[in-house]
């Protein structure tokens, strides 16, 4: 029997429609339009594409979006000055500096310069610490927050389940584990985190009720690593050569979809899975930030 397909595309569309309503309500009740600023240094085509998608999606739901594109030779001080200006700007509730920044700029310093109250990417150490200690208001990083939303909205609440996360990066695996063990909606799971030093990966992944894979290794998780009935979320986004395709490549996940789909209980595809959720959670964080600002 084939698995239930967990469509991030469909779930993201539902959330975006809810958010549009929330934006309209906020504007009507408080006169405040949520504002998102994206800052891009240089002309990396992938970064340009991501920033463009974020701004387009924001505008589509009534969020004010401001894109600031700076030349590649922008100095660190100049960039910090731009962020300081956005921190002080009441029209802006969310600030996103598109990563990576050029090598001559200290990425950590830039992230730390963002006002934690506007840190809609959730990468500021204050946000990371609050998530890790499950205390106070914070913005959860967008990709892991999207994974949790996908699970809950598709009827696979992680509470009480054993979730195996493959990958321990600061943008996906690690914050996802923190979200899943929170004593809060979307949390209360028992979590195991695997990485490249995990000796027998399959032995661990087979123990999962829910398996989330964020390795950046194309189609590495095969059917023999998954127990029948497992819920599988594939975060991986990889470009692999494909001479049969017009573009010469195809996009695939870290899970061998055709094989695993036949035995999993549910599975998210790539593309159309976690990808659309990431931008949606950024918009959700921006609306949340605006709402919190009006309450202060």
Q: Which residues are catalytic?
A: 54, 98, 121
Q: At what angle do helices 45-60 and 8-30 cross, to 10 degrees?
A: 50
Between the alpha carbon of residue 206 and those of residues 3, 150, 166, 222, 247, the distances in Å are: 17, 21, 12, 11, 35
Can you tell me the distance from the alpha carbon of 3 to that of 102, in angstroms, rounded to the nearest whole number? Answer: 42
CB of 278 to ligand NDP, least distance (A): 3
What do you get for the CA distance between the two ends of the chain, in Å? Answer: 52
Whole-angstrom distance, CA of residue 20 vs CA of residue 37: 18
As a whole number of angstroms, the distance between CA 280 and CA 277 comes to 5
Q: Which is nearer to ligand NDP, 4 or 238 (CB)?
A: 238
- Beta strand extents in 48-121 (DSSP E only): 64-70, 94-97
CB 233 within 8 A of CB 147: yes
H/E segment holding residue 194: strand 190-194
CB of 55 to ligand NDP, least distance (A): 17
Q: Which residue is nearest to ligand NDP (CB)?
A: 169
- What lies within 8 Å, CB to CB, of 17 at 6+ separation is none
The contact set with ligand NDP (CB under 6 A) reads 143, 166-169, 171-173, 194-198, 201, 214-217, 235-238, 274-275, 278
The nearest distance, CB 277 to ligand NDP, in angstroms, is 7
Closer residue to ligand NDP in complex, CB, 117/180: 180
CB of 226 to ligand NDP, least distance (A): 15
Output 19 or 215, the one with its CB closest to ligand NDP: 215
Compute the least distance from the CB of residue 160 to ligand NDP, in Å.
25
CB nearer ligand NDP, residue 74 or residue 280: 280
Angle at 291 (CA atoms; ends 117, 146), nearest 5 degrees: 75
């Amino acid at each position: 029997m084939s698995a239930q397909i967990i469509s991030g595309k469909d779930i993201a569309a539902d959330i975006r429609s809810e958010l549009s309503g929330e934006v309209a309500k906020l504007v009507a009740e408080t006169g405040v339009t949520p504002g998102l600023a994206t800052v891009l240094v240089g002309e990396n085509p992938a970064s340009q594409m991501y920033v463009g998608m974020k701004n387009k999606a924001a505008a589509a739901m009534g969020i004010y979006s401001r894109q600031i594109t700076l030349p590649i030779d922008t100095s660190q001080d100049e960039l910090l000055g731009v962020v300081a200006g956005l921190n002080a700007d009441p029209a802006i509730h969310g600030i996103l500096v598109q990563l990576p920044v050029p090598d001559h700029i200290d990425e950590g310093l830039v992230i730390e310069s963002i006002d934690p109250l506007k840190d809609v990417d959730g990468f500021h150490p204050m946000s990371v610490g609050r998530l890790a200690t499950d205390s106070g208001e914070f913005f959860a990083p967008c990709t892991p927050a999207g994974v949790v939303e996908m699970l809950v909205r598709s009827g696979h609440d992680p509470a009480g389940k054993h979730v195996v996360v493959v990958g321990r990066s600061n943008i996906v695996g690690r914050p996802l584990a923190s979200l899943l063990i929170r004593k809060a909606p979307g949390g209360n799971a028992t979590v195991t985190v695997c990485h490249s030093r995990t000796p027998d990966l399959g032995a661990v992944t087979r123990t999962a009720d829910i398996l989330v894979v964020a390795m950046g290794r194309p189609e590495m998780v095969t059917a023999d690593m998954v127990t029948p009935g497992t819920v599988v979320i594939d975060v991986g986004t990889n470009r692999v050569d494909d001479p049969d395709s017009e573009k010469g490549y195809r996009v695939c996940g870290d899970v061998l979809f055709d094989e695993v789909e036949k035995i999993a209980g549910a599975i998210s595809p790539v593309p159309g899975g976690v990808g659309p959720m990431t931008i949606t959670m950024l918009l959700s964080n921006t609306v949340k930030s605006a709402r919190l600002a009006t309450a202060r």
